[in-house]
């Protein structure tokens, strides 16, 4: 392992720009893995909604399964996979909550029906029928008729503060290229990994 002045966030942005130019749907889609306090894993696809010098930002209900798991166990793993580019990025770290101002700004940028849906959905709880969900949406829509839809108190964002970021490139004969960046003080260290 050697320290490096190379910034993994810049490399991520470069790879994301290439994916955005070539992927048909959701180049910002990522698998997000969480675990219960007992260590039972769970994974689902979410969309990356922000990146800054601190980390990777995504949004969710606090009361849903992932929100509860992150509250109890703030460790998270992310995985971006662009098969058409033969690339993958894995991220591991801790989460912190985004500020209310960040969550408000992103929530306001969403389509009105998506904002209504955040009020109507009791994420991850049993649903009796699709009609039940549609009724909840209609009720929330009527509640905010003619006005802006504010962010619900149970809805917010998380920032993954990465401790390691691995960049993987597909190579012939499965001799893939793997570079892993690790936090080293206030900077980064990097090493190559066997495929």
Residue 61 located in a structural domain: yes
Partners of 149 in beta bridges: none
CATH number of the domain to which 42 belongs: 2.30.110.10
Residue 57 located in a structural domain: yes
With a cut of 60, say whether residue 83 has pLDDT above it: yes
Predicted pLDDT of residue 6: 84
With a cut of 90, say whether residue 148 has pLDDT above it: yes
Residue 67 located in a structural domain: yes
Residue 10 located in a structural domain: yes
With a cut of 90, say whether residue 125 has pLDDT above it: no
Torsion, CA 18, CA 24, CA 25, CA 28, rounded to 10? 0
Least confident of 2-6, 43-47, 113-117, 172-176: 2-6
Q: What share of the chain is helix, strand, coil (3-state, %, to 5)?
A: 30, 40, 30
With a cut of 90, say whether residue 54 has pLDDT above it: yes
Mean predicted confidence (pLDDT) in 63-87: 94
Structure tokens at 25: 């749907």
User: What is this structure's pTM?
Assistant: 0.92
Predicted pLDDT of residue 51: 96
Mean pLDDT for the chain overall? 94
% of the chain residues with pLDDT over 90: 87
* Structural domains of the chain, count: 1
Residue 20 located in a structural domain: yes
The model's pLDDT over 4-37, given as tens digits with 9 standing for 90+, comes to 678 999 999 999 999 999 998 999 999 999 999 8
Mean predicted confidence (pLDDT) in 83-89: 95
Domain extent, residue 87, equals 2-104+153-193
Residue 115 located in a structural domain: no
Terminal Cα distance for the chain, rounded = 16
What residues have CB less than 8 Å from 60, skipping those under 6 apart?
46, 66, 67, 123, 155, 156, 157, 158
Least confident of 71-80, 111-120, 184-193: 184-193
Residue 55 located in a structural domain: yes
Residue 123 located in a structural domain: no
């Amino acid at each position: 392992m050697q320290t490096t002045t190379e910034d993994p966030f810049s490399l991520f942005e470069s790879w994301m720009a290439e994916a955005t130019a070539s992927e048909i749907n959701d180049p910002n889609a990522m698998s997000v893995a969480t675990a219960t306090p007992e260590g039972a894993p769970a994974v689902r696809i979410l969309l990356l909604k922000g990146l800054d010098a601190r980390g990777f930002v995504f949004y969710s209900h606090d009361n849903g399964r992932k929100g509860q798991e992150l509250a109890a166990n703030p460790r998270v793993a992310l995985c971006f996979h662009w098969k058409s580019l033969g690339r993958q990025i894995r991220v591991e770290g801790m989460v912190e909550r985004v500020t209310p101002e960040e969550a408000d700004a992103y929530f306001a940028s969403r389509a009105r029906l998506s904002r209504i849906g955040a009020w109507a959905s009791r994420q991850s709880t049993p649903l009796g029928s699709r009609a039940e969900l549609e009724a909840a949406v209609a009720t929330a829509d009527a509640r905010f008729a003619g006005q802006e839809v504010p962010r619900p108190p149970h809805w917010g964002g998380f920032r993954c503060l990465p401790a390691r970021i691995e960049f993987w490139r597909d190579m012939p004969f499965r001799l893939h290229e793997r570079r892993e960046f690790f936090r080293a003080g206030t900077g980064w260290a990097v090493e190559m990994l066997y495929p």
